[in-house]
Structure formats: C-alpha cells, structure tokens
Amino acid sequence: MTMRDCPDGAIRDLLPLYVSGKLVATEQARVASHVATCMDCATEAELLRTVARAFPVPMLDVASIVAKLPTPRVVPIHRQPLWRVAASLALFIAGTATVLAVIGRQPDAAQVGLVQPVGTQTGAAPETTLAVATSTGGSPAANGALLSLGEELSDLTDAQLELLLGSLDGLDPRPQADPMTIATPIIQDRTQAPSRNNQ
C-alpha cells in the first residue's frame, strides 16, 4: 500500500476537520469537491476515517460522574442558627464592632460592612462576618439592624452578593423599633435561593 501526499497542503490541513464535519458549510463543500477529483486526498480522508473509528470509546456512566461532582457553593442563610444573628446584633448595638470596610450606596442609605467582632463576651465566633446595617446618619449602633451570614465572604458568589445588595436597596433606611423586622425579610428572601448540599 503506497500513499502519496497531495501537493495542496492547505486542503490536506483541512481533511481531518472535513472528515469529522467540523468545517463551515462552504468550506466543507470546497474540500468535498477537491476530494472528489483527487485520489490522494480521497485515500487520506479514508485513512482519517479509519483512525477515528479505530479507537472505540469506553462506556461511560454520566450519572455516576455527575454524582461525584461538587455541588454549587450557594450559601444557605436559612440554616444559620438564630444565635449567630442575635450575637452579631448584640455586638453591633453595644458598639464594640469595628467597621473595616463599607460599601455604601449613599451616606444615609443601607450599608454593607465587614464587621470584626471584638472580644468573646457574647460567644460569637471570632471570625469575620458580613454585616448589613441601615442607618439614618446618626449612630449606626443605635439604629442598626444587621444580618450576619456567618460565612466567609469568599463563600459568596457574585450572584449572591448582587442578590444581597439588591435586598438592601429594597430596605427602608428609616430606623425601626425592632431591628429584626428589617432583617427578617432578607432572611426570607434568601430561602428562595438554591441551597448548598453537603459535599
């Protein structure tokens, strides 16, 4: 068996794509008409088809592959124990929290801040928590209402932060008698989000 190379290198370059049907229609037709009149290319194309057929694909169980994949990292806020929220709230109101960063829309509007709890008097874990506060420009400690997610910020996806900020925009910036009445709607909103399964 002797196989020669067609002098048209550009066409030869396209033969594997032609054989696997990966060319755009016009190119596919152009190569086909060449192959129809060129014995070298016809032979090479047939060889390529044989190569493609010669390696059988092992049976794969898609379901079992998917079963071993991690699940999306979506934070289940509704699973946060209430004591975490309460503890963060107490810390905030006591004014022992230090605001490290504030992503405020307007000075008087809702604010999102990184709150580093100080001390252990309330039993709160000494980890960074995401706090959401509303204020009217007075003492945030006096008017603040906040929601502790109790998760590292890195656990939040962009989509979740968007959602959180969206929820904040919907908040009434005026002080409320009971801060929890502000925080509660956010918690309820978040229960609609897909939850993270155990990994």
Q: Which residues bind other proteins (CB under 8 A)?
A: 1-3, 5, 12-14, 16-17, 19-25, 27, 44, 47-48, 50-66, 68-74, 157, 159, 193-195
Backbone φ, ψ for residue 98 (5° rounding): -110, 120
Q: Three-class SS of residue 111?
A: strand
Identify what 41 binds: Zn ion, other proteins, none; CB under 5 to 8 Å per kind.
Zn ion
Sequence-distant (6+) residues with CB within 8 A of 6 are 12, 38, 40, 41, 44
Write the DSSP symbol of residue 72. Answer: P
Task: Name the one range near Zn ion by CB under 5 A: 1-9, 89-97, 143-151, 171-179.
Answer: 1-9
Residues of span 24-43 touching Zn ion by CB under 5 A? 38, 40-41
**Cα dihedral 192→131→84→183 (10° resolution):** -50
Q: Measured between alpha carbons, how far is 184 from 191 in angstroms, rounded to an integer?
A: 11
Identify what 61 binds: other proteins, Zn ion, none; CB under 5 to 8 Å per kind.
other proteins
For the bound state, the minimum distance from the C-beta of residue 154 to Zn ion, rounded and expressed in Å, comes to 56
Give whichever of 9 and 81 is closer to other proteins, judged by the CB atom: 9
Query: How close are the terminal C-alpha atoms of the chain, in Å?
Result: 57
Give whichever of 32 and 159 is closer to Zn ion, judged by the CB atom: 32
Give whichever of 106 and 154 is closer to other proteins, judged by the CB atom: 154
> Which residues form the interface with Zn ion (CB under 5 A)?
6, 8, 38, 40-41
